[in-house]
Amino acid sequence: MRAALFLLPLLVIMKTAVSQNPEQSSEADAYERIMAFTEDRKLRFTVNDVSRLEDIYGIEGRKKTMQRLNALFSDVHRHFTPHRNRSRQEAMDFFTTVDSLLDEHHISQFYMSESFDGDFFNRTLSKPYKGVPCYYISLIYNSLGKIYPFSIFPVLASDHHIFVRYQWAGKDSSLNWETTIGESRPDRHYIKKNELSRQAINSGCYLRCLSDRQALATLFRYMGVIEQDKGHDSTMFKFYKKAWQLDTTRLNSLYALSACHSELGEPDSALYYLDKAHAMDTANARTWLAYGFIYEENNHTDKAIDAYDHALQLDSLYGRALYKRARIALDRDHREKFKQLYERLMINDAGNLPYILRLDKLLNTKKNSIHME
C-alpha cells in the first residue's frame, strides 16, 4: 500500500480545483481568468488537504511530496500560456511543456519495484529512481487540466496501462498523449498493440475517458495487489470489490474478484464475475483461461479442457493456456496432444521457460514417461 501513497495528494486536487475555479460563461472568460491568475489564487496542496484524505484512508501526509508537486504546478503556470481557443496545437503545447517539466522536477523518475525502506515520500520523487507508473503521471496531467479550462482525462489503454486524452469541441476533437514516451499516439496504436477487440471497446472496457471516480478504480485495484502480496486476504478483497464498484467495466477488477472467490472455495461467485467479463469481451483469451482454472479446481476437467481450447483458439501461443492444457494431456497420457502443445510452448522458449521447466519436471516424475522425438 505504501507504494500507492505518492498519488494520494493528487486526488485532493480534483475537488479543490473545481471549488477554486468557478464556472465561466464562455471560453473567452476562462482565458481572461487564467491570464489574471494571481499568486494568492494559485492552486496549492496543503497539509490540511491531505489530512482530509488521512481521515478517510488513514494515511499520513508528507510535506516534502506536496512541496515538490507545488513546485511543478507553479512552473507549469509560469511556462505555459493557454490559447484563446481550444485546439490540437494548444494540447501539444501543453503536453510538451508539462513533459519537459516533469523531467526537470525528477517526478518521472519513480520506480515501483524499489524496496521502499526509509522515508518513502522523500525518496519517490528524487533521483536515482527511474520511470513512473503511467497512472501517477496521468493524475498529474488530469489535475493540471482542472486549473486551466481544459478537459484532460485518464484513458485505459489495456488492463495494465493508462494514458491521457485532451478533448475540445471541434472537427478533430481529441489528442492522446502517451506519458511513458512523451508523444502523441492515435487510438489505432493502442488497438493494434494491445489487440483490443471492437466489442471490448464498445462495452467501455478500453479507450474511453475515465471520470475521477472511475480513475480511482486503478488505485484500489493496485492496493488490492499490495494486500494480496502481504497475505491480507480480507483487506485485499475489500480493495478489489471497491475497485469494481468504482468502475464496473474494468476487466482486471472482475478477474481479481473471480480469483478471490475461487480461492475461498466459492466457484459460483467466481463464475459470476467471469460471466460479467465474458459478456463485455467474448473473444478474450484471458477470460477463457480463468474459466478453465475454476473448472479444473472443482474437478470439472472436461469443462476445463473446453475452456483452455477456447483460449488457444483465440491465441494459439498463449503460454499459460498451453501449459494448463498440456498438463491435463500428460495426466491423461494423451501423448500426441501433449507433444503438440509442448512444441508450441517451445516456439517462445524464453518467455515460456517456467512452464517448460514445470512440464519437464512432471515428465521426469511420471512412471510412464512420454519420450520426445
- Structural domain boundaries, residue 295: 213-365
208, 233, 262: which is the final residue of a domain?
208
Same domain as 221, residue 139? no
pTM score, whole prediction: 0.75
Q: What is the pLDDT of residue 108?
A: 59
- Helix, strand, or coil here: 209? strand
How high is the pLDDT of residue 171?
Answer: 67
CA-based nearest residue to 43, from 62, 80, 15: 15
What integer pLDDT is reported at residue 208 of this predicted model? 93
What confidence score (pLDDT) does residue 176 get?
A: 96
Indicate if 152 and 230 belong to the same structural domain. no
Residue 163 sits in the same domain as residue 72? yes
Note the pLDDT of residue 77.
86
Within the chain, where are the H helices?
Answer: 8-20, 27-35, 47-57, 63-79, 88-104, 120-124, 134-147, 187-194, 198-202, 212-230, 233-246, 251-263, 267-280, 285-297, 301-314, 319-331, 335-347, 353-365
CA dihedral sign, ordered 68, 73, 74, 80: positive
Return the biggest CA–CA distance within the chain: 82
Averaged over successive runs of 10 residues, the pLDDT of the chain (373 residues) comes to 46 43 38 38 40 38 59 87 88 94 70 35 35 70 81 91 89 86 93 94 95 82 79 86 91 94 94 97 95 96 97 95 95 92 90 90 70 49
For residues 183 and 254, state if they share a domain: no
Do residue 129 and residue 273 come from a single domain?
A: no
Looking at residue 118, what is its pLDDT?
Answer: 32
Q: Which amino acid is at 62?
A: R
Provide the number of structural domains found in the chain.
2
Q: What single string gives the DSSP state of each residue in 95-164? A: HHHHHHHHHHTTTTB--TTS---S-HHHHHTSTT--B--HHHHHHHHHHHHHHTT-EEEEEEEETTEEEE
What is the number of alpha carbons within 13 Å of residue 153 lying toward its C-beta?
Answer: 16
Query: Residues near 2 by Cβ (< 8 Å), separated by ≥ 6?
Result: 116, 120, 226
